[in-house]
Amino acid sequence: MLTRLAPTPSGFLHQGNIFNFLLNWLWARSNNGGVMLRIDDGDAARKRKEYVEDIFRVLDWLGLDWDMGPTGPDDFETNWSQLKRLDLYHAILDDLVNKKLVFACGCSRNQVCHCIDKNISLAQLNTAWKIKLTVNNHICFNDKILGDTSIAIQSFVVKRKDGMASYQVGSLADDRHFGTTHICRGNDLSASTAMQLFLDGYMTPTYFDTCQFWHHPLIPGQDGIKLSKSAGVSAVSITGTHNREQLFSAFAAWMGLEQANGISLREMMQAPVFTTGK
């Protein structure tokens, strides 16, 4: 069993990130499984040194360890950045091209795409590559809490206009490469799970369909809107604005554990939710 902590260094970590870290870590440790730290830094425009450093600072503050991944910011940049695995991502893109599954698109996010029949060259600059889907595809998978789930997907980006592989390709390639078996992510990423399962279905051998998924509810802010680093949730590290023990209690209450106040990581590891139906 291998779960992964997969933050993006695009802002200081917030409470939603912390709850996801705890879920993944507890799911693994409650079942004698491993944990990987995988920092998704494919979006270089939003990456900042201080955000990378914050990830390690927060994990140390929380007392969460991991079995695979960088030991610190320098080791990450030298050995573990996604820029070190571009060959994996390009191999998937090349395979999609060979299987005639992609088309070039020059539309913006706000435009309705009509490029699928235009035969735009894949080599044309300032174009994205998208999967050829003319009708909604329904992708089915089993979720630890929700059970059998079906998600409809439409045509989606696999290569961005800047030439980088999309999140869907990078995340899938990394999970296959490192051998992730259990993936716990927010339910706003259920469509990403479906897209990645679609891509994996065209790969030999398939892998993603053997993984166990757990899509958890999002943690809303005080305004009821989901917490987001891009929305500027915090201008400083959570380690300087929150109490760790209170965060643990809030997490335990969010998970519906009977005794939340003053609960420790070791005590949370005994909760049936982490071990049942693993």
Model confidence over 6-62: pLDDT tens digits? 999 999 999 999 999 999 999 999 999 999 999 999 998 999 999 999 999 999 999
Burial label, 235 (beta-carbon count in 10 A; 0-12, 13-18, 19+): exposed
- Is residue 134 scored above 80 in pLDDT? no
- Domain total of the chain: 1
Alpha helix (H) residue ranges in the chain = 15-29, 49-62, 73-75, 86-98, 167-178, 190-200, 244-254, 265-268, 272-275
Domain ranges, residue 99: 2-275
- Is residue 189 scored above 80 in pLDDT? yes
Virtual torsion, Cα 48, 52, 57, 58, nearest 10 deg: 100
Q: What is the CATH number of the domain that holds 128?
A: 3.40.50.620
Q: Is 175 within 8 Å of 10 (Cβ atoms)?
A: no
CB atoms within 10 A of CB 247: 17
Q: What is the pLDDT of residue 226?
A: 55
Q: Which two tokens stand for residue 130?
A: 């998208």
Instruction: Tell me how far apart the alpha carbons of residues 70 and 152 are, in angstroms, rounded to a whole number.
Output: 36
**Closest to 188 measured CA to CA, from 142, 137, 133, 225:** 225
Question: How sure is the predictor about 115, in pLDDT bands with cuts at 50, 70 and 90?
Answer: confident
- Is residue 114 scored above 70 in pLDDT? yes
Q: Which two tokens stand for residue 89?
A: 């991502």
Question: How sure is the predictor about 107, in pLDDT bands with cuts at 50, 70 and 90?
Answer: confident
Give the pLDDT mean for 57-76.
98
Instruction: Tell me how far apart the alpha carbons of residues 157 and 37 are, in angstroms, rounded to a whole number.
Output: 25
Q: Is 12 within 8 Å of 238 (Cβ atoms)?
A: yes
Q: What is the pLDDT of residue 275?
A: 83
Give the pLDDT mean for 147-165.
95
Q: What is the pLDDT of residue 276?
A: 65
Q: At 218, which helix (H) or strand (E)? A: none
Q: What is the pLDDT of residue 9?
A: 97
- Find the helix packing angle between 15-29 and 49-62, rounded to 10°: 50
CB atoms within 10 A of CB 233: 18
pLDDT 10s digits, 222-259: 555 555 555 555 678 998 888 999 999 999 999 999 88
Structure pTM? 0.91
Q: What is the pLDDT of residue 225?
A: 52
Question: How sure is the predictor about 277, in pLDDT bands with cuts at 50, 70 and 90?
Answer: low
Question: How sure is the predictor about 111, in pLDDT bands with cuts at 50, 70 and 90?
Answer: confident
Q: What is the pLDDT of residue 129?
A: 97
Q: What is the pLDDT of residue 221?
A: 60
**Mean pLDDT estimate for the chain:** 92
Q: Is 153 within 8 Å of 139 (Cβ atoms)?
A: yes
Q: What length is written for the chain? A: 278
> In the chain, what percentage of residues exceed pLDDT 90?
78
Q: What is the pLDDT of residue 21?
A: 98
Whose structure tokens read 């992708």? 139
- Find the helix packing angle between 49-62 and 244-254, rounded to 10°: 80
Q: Which neighbouring-strand residues pair with 140?
A: 150
Q: At 31, which helix (H) or strand (E)? A: none
